[in-house]
Amino acid sequence: MSDWELLELTQQETTQLDAPYLIFNGDIDDESFSKTGRGIVDWCPDRVAGQMRLPGGTLDIGVPYLSVAEAVEKGVRSFVIGITPIGGQMPVHWYPVVVEAIEAGIDIVSGLHSRLTDIPEFVEAASRSGARLIDIRVPPRGIPVGSGEKRSGKRVLMVGTDCAVGKKYSALALTRALTGLGINATFRATGQTGIMIAGNGIAVDAVVADFISGAAELLSPANDDDHWDVIEGQGSLFNPGYAAVSLGLMHGSQPDALVICHEATLTQILGWPEYSIPSLDECMETNLRMARLTNPDVRIAGLSINTSKLAENKRGQYLDDLSKEMGLPCSDPMIDGALAIAESIRDI
C-alpha cells in the first residue's frame, strides 16, 4: 500500500461526519474567527441544520438558531465547533454546553488545537452516551521529512497577505472552475475546515515543523501530467505567528502556480495590529522568491480578492483597476467565481 493510500485510510477514520450539523459559535463577536462554521454553511449548506451561540456572542452565519434540545428534535448528529480563535484552544466556559450535547448523544467535531479526547469531562460524558469525540486537527502518523524531489502533475497553491483572507474559498472556487473547463483538478485540504468539507486532507499546522513539507508532498502526490492539485493555503509569510507553516507548505507543494489572496480593505495583520498588511507587489515578490527553492519555474496565475467590505458600486472598478495594474486576472471567488484565474492556469 502506498503512502497516499495509507493517508487516505487515516483520514477516512477521522473525517466521516454524520449530518445534519449544529454549528457552535461560542461567545465570539469577531467574524474573522468564524471561518469554520461559515465555510461549512457556504460550501455544504445541505449538511447544516442550525447554529448555536452563547450569551455575549454576536456571530450569525445565516442559519436557524437551535438549542441542544431543539437540535435533538431535528435529528442533529454532529455538534461542530465553528470558531477558530488565535491559538486554537477551547475556553473552559464552553465546556458545559459541549457536555450537554455529548450527553444528548450528539457527536462533537472540533478542529481546534486543544483535543476533545484530552478533556476528561468530555471523555466521561461520551463513555456514557456513546457520542463520538472527533478531533480533525490530528495529522497521520509516519509523515516523512520533505524530499524536495520533483513530482509529476501540476500544482497551484493559494497564498495570502494574511490569514483569513479567503485562501480556502479561493481553492474551492478554483477547483470548481477548472473542472468546469474540463481540466482534471482536485482540491487538497490543508486545514480543519477544508478537511470537513472535502472529507480528507492534512491539517498542516498541527504537523511538527520538520515534517510540514513532507506532509505537503504526501497531500499532493505524483499524478498525471495534465492533472492540477489545487492546494488550500495556510497562514501567510507576512504573519509573525503563522509564517512558518506557510513556508513549509509552500516548499512541499512545489507549486507551478500561485494565487495571491487578499481582503480588499485589510490594513493590519489580524491579531497583530502593530504589523501592516504588505503591498500586493511585495506579497507577490516574496512568495515567488520563497517558492523558487523547490520550483524555479513557479508563476503567479492571478489574484483572488475578498471584496465583501467594499461598497457594491466600487467593487467592479476596484477589481478592474487592480487587474490592469498587475497585468493579471483579479476576481472575487464568492461573487465572480474563479473562471478568469482558471483560464490563466490552463495556459501554464
In order of their start, the domains of the chain are 3-135 (3.40.50.720), 154-346 (3.40.50.300)
Mean pLDDT confidence for 133-138: 92
Looking at the chain, the whole-number percentage of residues with pLDDT higher than 90 is 81
Looking at the chain, the whole-number percentage of residues with pLDDT higher than 70 is 95
pLDDT, residue 113, reads 87
The continuous run of DSSP H or E covering 22 comes out as strand 21-24
Mean pLDDT confidence for 156-161: 98
Model confidence at 239: pLDDT above 70 = yes
Name the residue among 18, 22, 17, 109 with its Cα closest to residue 72. Answer: 22
Model confidence at 139: pLDDT above 60 = yes
For 218-227, how does the pLDDT look when each residue is reduced to its tens digit (9 = 90+)? 999 999 999 9
For 294-326, how does the pLDDT look when each residue is reduced to its tens digit (9 = 90+)? 999 999 999 999 999 999 999 999 999 999 999
Amino acid identity of residue 293, one-letter, is: L
Mean pLDDT confidence for 184-202: 94
For helices 280-291 and 243-253, angle between their N-to-C axes, nearest 10 degrees: 50
Name the residue among 37, 34, 22, 36 with its Cα closest to residue 68. Answer: 22
For helices 120-129 and 95-103, angle between their N-to-C axes, nearest 10 degrees: 10
pLDDT, residue 231, reads 98
Q: What is the mean pLDDT of the chain?
A: 92
Model confidence at 41: pLDDT above 80 = yes
Model confidence at 50: pLDDT above 90 = yes
pLDDT band at 47 (very low <50, low <70, confident <90, very high): very high
* Cα–Cα separations (whole angstroms), residue 193 to 41, 199, 249, 258, 267: 11, 10, 17, 21, 25
Mean pLDDT confidence for 266-273: 93
pLDDT band at 15 (very low <50, low <70, confident <90, very high): low
Model confidence at 51: pLDDT above 70 = yes
**For the whole model, what pTM was predicted?**
0.88
Model confidence at 1: pLDDT above 60 = no
Query: Which stretches of 215-334 are assigned E, i.e. beta strand?
Result: 228-231, 257-263, 268-269, 272-276, 299-306, 330-331
Least trusted range by pLDDT, from 80-84, 116-120, 183-187, 254-258 = 80-84
> In whole angstroms, what is the distance from residue 10 CA to residue 290 CA?
31
